[in-house]
Amino acid sequence: MSNEKTIMGVNKIVSLEEVVKERGIKEPVFSKGLYHWVMFILSLYTRVKEKLNIDFESFVILQVVVSHSLYETNKLGTKSFSDLEEQMEKITEKNYLNKRKLTFASIAEVLQLPRETVRRKIISLSKKDILSFNTYSGIKLGPSYKTIYKDFVTQTTLDLSSLVNKWEKSGALKNLLELAK
């Protein structure tokens, strides 16, 4: 797993003011869009604590494992929500083996966390059957992830849809998309 995608170097930091000025874009509708984004993040944080009963750092570790699983899955072609649900069933089976396995060290490197912290949190997640790990297959999604996918991912997708709709209604989405050009 490459660490390059997760590191933001000084040369990658861009001034929003400079981009807007350079591209001749009118000042973006920013405060409403930012407010809706912050509310989305706060809702996500609260749901992680209340619904999944895990801390946010453990949630981010889980997302690295999900990301790895999706990366491997997408090599076989993109999937619909229901197709992906079936794939998650396969991934959580004990005999499923990724070609490239995740380790404590690789996750620690990606997240820039101490290896011991990652190990401790993965052990905690494995006790809840959210993740599983062994030396043969590495770290992968556990049997309880099926429920998380079905319930938590569904709600997060609906919340994200609501966020994008609010951005579109306020004009923030149009301005955000223009920044990328």
Please give the chain's pLDDT, 181 residues, in tens. 455 555 555 555 666 566 556 655 555 567 888 899 999 999 999 999 999 999 999 999 999 999 998 988 888 888 898 888 888 877 777 656 556 789 999 999 999 999 999 999 999 999 999 999 988 889 999 999 988 988 999 999 999 999 999 999 988 898 888 876 6
Query: Six-digit token pair at 33?
Result: 């869009």
User: End-to-end distance of the chain based on CA atoms, in angstroms?
Assistant: 29
The tally of domains found in the chain comes to 1
> What's 171's domain CATH number?
1.10.10.10
For 43, the domain range is: 4-179
Q: Which CA distances in Å does 84 have to 23, 68, 69, 139, 149?
A: 39, 14, 10, 19, 9
Separation of alpha carbons 100 and 169, rounded Å: 43
pTM: 0.79
Crossing angle between the packed helical segments 104-111 and 56-74, to the nearest 10 degrees: 110
DSSP β-bridge partners for residue 86: none
139 DSSP 8-state letter:
E
As a 3-state breakdown, the chain gives helix, strand, coil percent values, each rounded to 5, of: 65, 5, 30
